[in-house]
Structure 1
Amino acid sequence: MIQALSNVLLPVMLVAGLGALVSARFPIDQATIARVTLYLLSPALALNVLLTTRVQAGEVLTLGAAYALTVAGSLLLGWLTGLRAPQAQRRSLTASVGIWNSGNMGLPIALFAFGQAGFAHATLLFLMSFVGMYVIAPVVYTARVRRPDQPPPSAGGMLLNMVRLPAVWMVALGVTLRALHLQPPEGLMRGVELLAQATLPMVLLSLGLQLGSGGWPRLDARVWLATAARLIGGPLLGLAAGLACGLRGEVLAVLVLSASMPTAVNALLIAREYGGDADTVARTAFLSTVLSVPTIAAVVALLPRLTG
């Protein structure tokens, strides 16, 4: 399993490292790269996954409830790590703990650990986390953010912040097409798939660019706390939430494994778009990704007790 984890982690670190190297040598417009990913590539990934993944209604409801409880607990843990910190850093720590990498790390590791059946459940969790990320993160970064002379944000204003990102529109479109049993033309879907395939490399490059522009990341106490909350608190919360929702066996194990993943790099892109503390998110994503090898290996070693 350690070898399998390293096979997943090494490409992640390689692409991010190349981004850091380029950013350290040349001036890079990171905001433009982030917007290309948020407004073009991520929406294509959302639509492609929704139209090509088989899901069942019963699994969505039960697993969705457990996932929602896990996210709520993780956001609370992240908020606690940011107590007495500046507002921007506190919000970024909250997002760093509450948004994890269930895609490019969670999916292949689930396949290695559980085979194709577990991979199907992991894909369903990825869909939920992808939707949740683009709904929850804007709220975390914008709720009650205003000047002293401004009134509190209205419900309509909060809704606009949530739907600013096209990924949310593509989720709605994908769900509608699935409900109506409609399939876009093959040529259009090939274009969507090409954009979707470019998402992961661009996301990882964005992490490297952020880290490279500031030199070696400063790993202060709050970043270490947020990393511990993500890698240790996450799977414990997933276990508690899954048991509370009646999950047992392999489905419960897949949820726990997903919740043990490091901070999602997409959280960095959203922080940049909404004016959050992108440096804190980048440092937490970096540290949690590096330290996730032993922690995920420990979780995988313990999972047979849940499926036995």
Structure 2
Amino acid sequence: MNLLLTVFEIVAPVFILAGIGFSWVSLGFEYRLQFVTRFAMTLAVPSLIFVALMQTEIPGGDLSRFTVATIVANLVLAAVFWLFVRLLKLEQRTYLSPLIFGNTGNLGLPLCIFAFGQAGLGYAVIFLSVTALFSFTYGIYLVAGKGAFGKVVREPMVWATLIGALFLWRGWETPVFLTNTLELLGQMAVPMMLITLGVAIARLTTHSLSQAVWLSLLKLVVCFSLGWFVATVFDLESVAFGVLVLQMCTPVAVTSYLLAARFEADSDAVAGMVMVSTLLSVAALPVVLALVL
């Protein structure tokens, strides 16, 4: 009973905030998605990442092992789904990116914060940073058929990760006034990301639901199994174990739909996967949390 209450206390704020965004748009109120997203990704999320890395008290060995485990998990996941897409002769430009990339920012980061606290945030930020770098390069290549390596060096989130890692390594601290400012900016990131997720889901439309159901179920099963296997192989400590498995199980990222629409892949099919996998996560993620807590 205590475990069920703990899981509810973790997931309820996440889905309530996303539900607020969904309801806000459904009621016809204005929400400038592009502005909020740009603000979050330019200021709020980079501030959250930098402060989390600078202030993390995770031992260096645990952090390094988790980083390698995250890289390995994502590379193996990409290989597994590449093979799957080839065997079933699905269109790679449409289906491979949403199968690989989960919503480790909007949904995964808040869940890890609520479930595992400051230590979980440190690990979750590492996972988000690795998948973001992967998404900005290989993810865009999958959909567009060309690289976007120049985009990486222009992303504030990338620089926040690199500078935060440098401060962590050297044991540096920013002046208190600056740290307080960055913390305030970072505190906006979680509610903004969750409300924006709800808004984005509310604005999606699709007619490709039947295929989206079994693909979303497949993604969840493969990601959970692979996350658990990699976390076990690398002998991650309990918080790192839970964060890795939880982040691997996040639903299809909304950015996969945006890329499909931008580069003229089958955006309707991707929208279906975003919607179905996100709805599926309402039931699945509490179960995953119960298993890793």
Shared fold, TM over 0.5: yes
Q: Residue in 1 aligned with 2:246?
A: 258
**Contact preservation (8 Å) 1:75, 1:98:** no
**Deviations 1:133-178 (CA, angstroms, capped at 9, x unpaired):** 320111243216558xxxx64xxxx431223320111111112223
**Alignment partner of 2:171 out of 162, 181, 185:** 181
Distance in 1 (CA, whole Å) between partners of 2:173 and 2:237 is: 35
Q: Residue in 2 aligned with 1:134?
A: 132
The structure carrying a bigger helix percent of its residues is 2
Give matches, 1:21-60, under 5 Å. Answer: 21-24=23-26, 25-60=28-63
Distance in 2 (CA, whole Å) between partners of 1:243 and 1:3 is: 27
Instruction: Determine if the alignment matches structure 1 residue 268 to structure 2 residue 270.
Output: no
Instruction: Determine if the alignment matches structure 1 residue 233 to structure 2 residue 231.
Output: no
**Contact preservation (8 Å) 1:230, 1:288:** no
Q: Residue in 1 aligned with 2:78?
A: 75
Look up the equivalent residue of 2:254 and give its one-letter code. L
Structure 1 residue 46 displacement after superposition? 0.8
Q: Residue in 2 aligned with 1:115?
A: none
Which ranges of structure 2 fall in alignment gaps of 5 or more residues?
A: none
Q: How many residues align?
A: 281
**Alignment partner of 1:205 out of 178, 181, 195:** 195
Which ranges of structure 1 fall in alignment gaps of 5 or more residues?
A: 112-118, 304-308
**Contact preservation (8 Å) 2:106, 2:193:** no
Q: Residue in 2 aligned with 1:223?
A: 212
Distance in 1 (CA, whole Å) between partners of 2:103 and 2:256 is: 14
Distance in 2 (CA, whole Å) between partners of 1:100 and 1:83 is: 31
Distance in 1 (CA, whole Å) between partners of 2:247 and 2:29 is: 36
Identity of aligned residues (%): 16
Look up the equivalent residue of 2:130 and give its one-letter code. G
Look up the equivalent residue of 2:52 and give its one-letter code. V
Q: Residue in 2 aligned with 1:9?
A: 11
Structure 1 residue 293 displacement after superposition? 4.4
Structure 1 residue 226 displacement after superposition? 4.3
**Deviations 1:265-287 (CA, angstroms, capped at 9, x unpaired):** xx425764794757356415522
Structure 1 residue 250 displacement after superposition? 3.7
Q: 1:66 to 1:221 in 2, by over 3 A?
A: farther
Q: 1:251 to 1:283 in 2, by over 3 A?
A: same
Structure 1 residue 257 displacement after superposition? 4.1
Instruction: Determine if the alignment matches structure 1 residue 87 to structure 2 residue 90.
Output: no
Q: 1:239 to 1:77 in 2, by over 3 A?
A: same
**Contact preservation (8 Å) 2:216, 2:276:** yes
Distance in 1 (CA, whole Å) between partners of 2:172 and 2:97 is: 39
Q: Residue in 2 aligned with 1:299?
A: 291
Distance in 1 (CA, whole Å) between partners of 2:247 and 2:139 is: 22
Structure 1 residue 68 displacement after superposition? 1.9
Distance in 2 (CA, whole Å) between partners of 1:99 and 1:223 is: 22
Q: 1:165 to 1:73 in 2, by over 3 A?
A: same
TM-score using structure 1 length = 0.75
Distance in 2 (CA, whole Å) between partners of 1:104 and 1:43 is: 15
The DSSP-based 3-state class of the residue aligned with 1:105 is helix
Look up the equivalent residue of 2:282 and give its one-letter code. V
Q: Which deviates more, 131-140 or 82-91?
A: 82-91
**Alignment partner of 1:164 out of 145, 151, 154:** 154
Q: Residue in 2 aligned with 1:108?
A: 114
Q: Residue in 2 aligned with 1:306?
A: none
Look up the equivalent residue of 1:14 and give its one-letter code. I
Structure 1 residue 15 displacement after superposition? 1.2
Look up the equivalent residue of 1:95 and give its one-letter code. F
**Contact preservation (8 Å) 2:17, 2:194:** yes
The DSSP-based 3-state class of the residue aligned with 1:262 is coil
Look up the equivalent residue of 1:263 and give its one-letter code. P
**Contact preservation (8 Å) 2:123, 2:240:** no
The DSSP-based 3-state class of the residue aligned with 1:14 is helix
Look up the equivalent residue of 2:201 and give its one-letter code. L
**Alignment partner of 1:96 out of 94, 99, 102:** 102
